[in-house]
Structure 1
Amino acid sequence: MGEDVLILINTKLLPHVHSMFSLWLMIIGTIQIIYVASTTLGQQNSRKRIAYSSVSHMEIIII
Protein backbone atom coordinates (compact mmCIF):
# COMPACT_ATOMS: atom_id res chain seq x y z
CA MET A 1 0.00 0.00 0.00
CA GLY A 2 2.83 2.41 0.78
CA GLU A 3 4.41 2.01 -2.63
CA ASP A 4 1.14 2.82 -4.35
CA VAL A 5 0.85 6.09 -2.43
CA LEU A 6 4.43 7.04 -3.34
CA ILE A 7 3.76 6.42 -7.02
CA LEU A 8 0.53 8.42 -6.83
CA ILE A 9 2.31 11.37 -5.23
CA ASN A 10 5.11 11.07 -7.80
CA THR A 11 2.73 11.14 -10.76
CA LYS A 12 0.77 14.13 -9.37
CA LEU A 13 3.74 16.28 -8.38
CA LEU A 14 6.18 15.48 -11.20
CA PRO A 15 4.26 14.05 -14.17
CA HIS A 16 6.92 14.95 -16.75
CA VAL A 17 9.76 13.37 -14.77
CA HIS A 18 7.64 10.31 -14.05
CA SER A 19 6.94 9.82 -17.74
CA MET A 20 10.68 10.13 -18.49
CA PHE A 21 11.68 7.45 -15.99
CA SER A 22 8.67 5.13 -16.20
CA LEU A 23 10.40 2.76 -18.64
CA TRP A 24 13.42 2.44 -16.35
CA LEU A 25 11.18 1.88 -13.34
CA MET A 26 9.40 -0.93 -15.16
CA ILE A 27 12.72 -2.52 -16.14
CA ILE A 28 14.03 -2.34 -12.57
CA GLY A 29 10.71 -3.71 -11.29
CA THR A 30 10.91 -6.65 -13.68
CA ILE A 31 14.47 -7.43 -12.59
CA GLN A 32 13.37 -7.30 -8.96
CA ILE A 33 10.49 -9.69 -9.65
CA ILE A 34 12.86 -12.23 -11.17
CA TYR A 35 15.44 -11.81 -8.39
CA VAL A 36 12.93 -12.09 -5.54
CA ALA A 37 11.21 -15.07 -7.14
CA SER A 38 14.54 -16.86 -7.49
CA THR A 39 15.49 -16.17 -3.87
CA THR A 40 12.08 -17.38 -2.76
CA LEU A 41 12.81 -20.83 -4.13
CA GLY A 42 15.92 -21.13 -1.97
CA GLN A 43 14.21 -20.41 1.34
CA GLN A 44 13.73 -23.28 3.78
CA ASN A 45 11.54 -21.41 6.27
CA SER A 46 7.93 -21.15 5.11
CA ARG A 47 7.43 -17.72 6.69
CA LYS A 48 10.35 -16.28 4.77
CA ARG A 49 9.10 -17.95 1.61
CA ILE A 50 5.70 -16.31 2.00
CA ALA A 51 7.32 -12.95 2.78
CA TYR A 52 9.53 -13.06 -0.31
CA SER A 53 6.64 -14.11 -2.54
CA SER A 54 4.56 -11.22 -1.16
CA VAL A 55 7.32 -8.78 -2.10
CA SER A 56 7.35 -10.23 -5.60
CA HIS A 57 3.59 -9.82 -5.93
CA MET A 58 3.74 -6.20 -4.75
CA GLU A 59 6.29 -5.51 -7.46
CA ILE A 60 3.80 -6.80 -10.05
CA ILE A 61 1.22 -4.36 -8.69
CA ILE A 62 3.71 -1.50 -8.92
CA ILE A 63 4.48 -2.24 -12.55
Structure 2
Amino acid sequence: MKSHVTVEEWVARFRAIGLDDAAMEKWHTSFERENPEGHQSFLEWLGLSPERIGEIRDNSK
Protein backbone atom coordinates (compact mmCIF):
# COMPACT_ATOMS: atom_id res chain seq x y z
CA MET A 1 0.00 0.00 0.00
CA LYS A 2 1.25 3.43 -0.94
CA SER A 3 1.81 5.73 2.03
CA HIS A 4 1.55 9.02 0.14
CA VAL A 5 -1.31 10.54 -1.81
CA THR A 6 -0.56 13.18 -4.40
CA VAL A 7 -2.53 16.38 -4.86
CA GLU A 8 -3.61 15.11 -8.26
CA GLU A 9 -5.00 11.91 -6.74
CA TRP A 10 -6.84 13.85 -4.05
CA VAL A 11 -8.36 16.25 -6.58
CA ALA A 12 -9.39 13.30 -8.76
CA ARG A 13 -11.23 11.82 -5.76
CA PHE A 14 -13.02 15.10 -5.17
CA ARG A 15 -13.96 15.33 -8.85
CA ALA A 16 -15.19 11.72 -8.81
CA ILE A 17 -17.74 12.61 -6.14
CA GLY A 18 -18.87 15.69 -8.05
CA LEU A 19 -16.94 18.52 -6.42
CA ASP A 20 -16.08 21.41 -8.70
CA ASP A 21 -13.52 24.15 -8.02
CA ALA A 22 -16.03 26.23 -6.04
CA ALA A 23 -16.92 23.28 -3.80
CA MET A 24 -13.24 22.49 -3.21
CA GLU A 25 -12.65 26.11 -2.23
CA LYS A 26 -15.54 25.86 0.26
CA TRP A 27 -14.01 22.67 1.64
CA HIS A 28 -10.67 24.39 2.21
CA THR A 29 -12.37 27.42 3.79
CA SER A 30 -14.32 25.22 6.16
CA PHE A 31 -11.24 23.19 7.06
CA GLU A 32 -9.20 26.35 7.69
CA ARG A 33 -11.92 27.90 9.85
CA GLU A 34 -12.66 24.77 11.90
CA ASN A 35 -9.16 23.32 12.26
CA PRO A 36 -6.33 25.51 10.96
CA GLU A 37 -3.60 23.27 12.38
CA GLY A 38 -5.21 20.20 10.84
CA HIS A 39 -5.49 22.01 7.52
CA GLN A 40 -1.79 22.84 7.65
CA SER A 41 -0.94 19.24 8.52
CA PHE A 42 -3.11 17.89 5.70
CA LEU A 43 -1.51 20.18 3.11
CA GLU A 44 1.95 19.15 4.32
CA TRP A 45 0.90 15.48 4.11
CA LEU A 46 0.03 16.07 0.46
CA GLY A 47 3.62 17.22 -0.08
CA LEU A 48 2.83 20.79 -1.04
CA SER A 49 5.56 23.41 -0.86
CA PRO A 50 5.43 25.91 2.00
CA GLU A 51 4.69 28.64 -0.55
CA ARG A 52 1.71 26.74 -2.01
CA ILE A 53 0.42 25.93 1.47
CA GLY A 54 0.58 29.63 2.34
CA GLU A 55 -1.37 30.53 -0.80
CA ILE A 56 -4.08 27.97 -0.12
CA ARG A 57 -4.42 28.95 3.53
CA ASP A 58 -4.46 32.69 2.71
CA ASN A 59 -7.17 32.12 0.09
CA SER A 60 -9.13 30.03 2.61
CA LYS A 61 -9.43 32.79 5.21
* Same fold, TM-score > 0.5, yes or no: no
* TM-score, normalised with respect to structure 2: 0.39
Q: Normalized per residue, which structure has more helix?
A: 1
* TM-score, normalised with respect to structure 1: 0.39
Larger Rg: 1
